[in-house]
A and B are shown apart, each in its own frame.
Chain A
Amino acid sequence: MIGQALSPSLPIGAALVRPPAAGLRVDDREAVLACQSGEREAFDLLVERYQRDIYRLCYRYVNDPQDANDMAQEVFLKAYRAIHRFRGDSSFSTWLYRIAVNTCLNFRSSRRPEGEELPDSLPDKHAGALDAMVEDERASRVREAVSRLPEKQRATLILKIYHELTHEEVAGIVGSSVGTVKANLFHALGNLRKMLHAEAGK
Chain B
Amino acid sequence: MNSDGRHLTDEDLMDVLDGARGGSAARHVGLCASCAGRLAEAREGLALARAADVPEPPELYWQSFPRRVAARLQAAPSPRPWRGWLVPAFATAVALAAAVAIIPRRATEAPASPAHTLAPWSALPPAEADPGLPVLQAAASDLDPALECGGLAECLADLSEEESQDLVQMLRPAVKDGSL
Q: A residues within 8 A CB of B17?
A: 12, 186, 189
| B residues at A contact (CB < 8 Å) | 9-11, 13-15, 17-20, 38, 41-46, 48-55, 57, 62, 65-66, 68-70, 72-73, 76, 78-82, 160-162
Knowing A51-B62, A56-B54, A185-B14, say if A161 contacts B69 (CB, 8 Å).
no
**Nearest CB of chain A from residue B97's CB, rounded to whole Å:** 26
| Interface residue A138 (Cβ < 8 Å from any Cβ of B) | yes
**In the bound complex, CA of A190 to CA of B40 (Å):** 9
Chain A 50-75, CB-CB to B under 8 Å as 1, else 0, gives: 01100110011000010000001100
Is the beta-carbon distance between B66 and A12 smaller than 8 angstroms? no
Q: A residues within 8 A CB of B46?
A: 12, 161, 189
| Interface residue A143 (Cβ < 8 Å from any Cβ of B) | yes
Q: B residues within 8 A CB of A124?
A: 41
Chain A 157-190, CB-CB to B under 8 Å as 1, else 0, gives: 1000110000000000000000100110111111
Q: A residues within 8 A CB of B54?
A: 55-56, 59-60, 143, 162
Is the beta-carbon distance between B76 and A81 smaller than 8 angstroms? yes
Is the beta-carbon distance between B48 and A51 smaller than 8 angstroms? no
Is the beta-carbon distance between B42 and A139 smaller than 8 angstroms? no
Knowing A47-B65, A56-B54, A85-B162, say if A186 contacts B49 (CB, 8 Å).
no
Question: How many residues belonging to A are interface residues under a CB distance threshold of 8 Å?
Answer: 58
Knowing A81-B79, A182-B11, A186-B13, say if A76 contacts B51 (CB, 8 Å).
no
Is the beta-carbon distance between B73 and A80 smaller than 8 angstroms? yes
Closest to A49 in B: B66
9 tightest Cβ-Cβ pairs between the two chains A and B? A189-B45, A142-B52, A193-B45, A182-B14, A186-B10, A183-B10, A139-B52, A189-B42, A182-B11
Q: B residues within 8 A CB of A101?
A: none
| Interface residue A97 (Cβ < 8 Å from any Cβ of B) | no
Is the beta-carbon distance between B81 and A84 smaller than 8 angstroms? yes
Q: List 6 A-B pairs, Cβ < 8 Å.
A: A47-B70, A55-B65, A65-B55, A130-B48, A183-B14, A192-B49
Closest to A43 in B: B73
Closest to A157 in B: B49
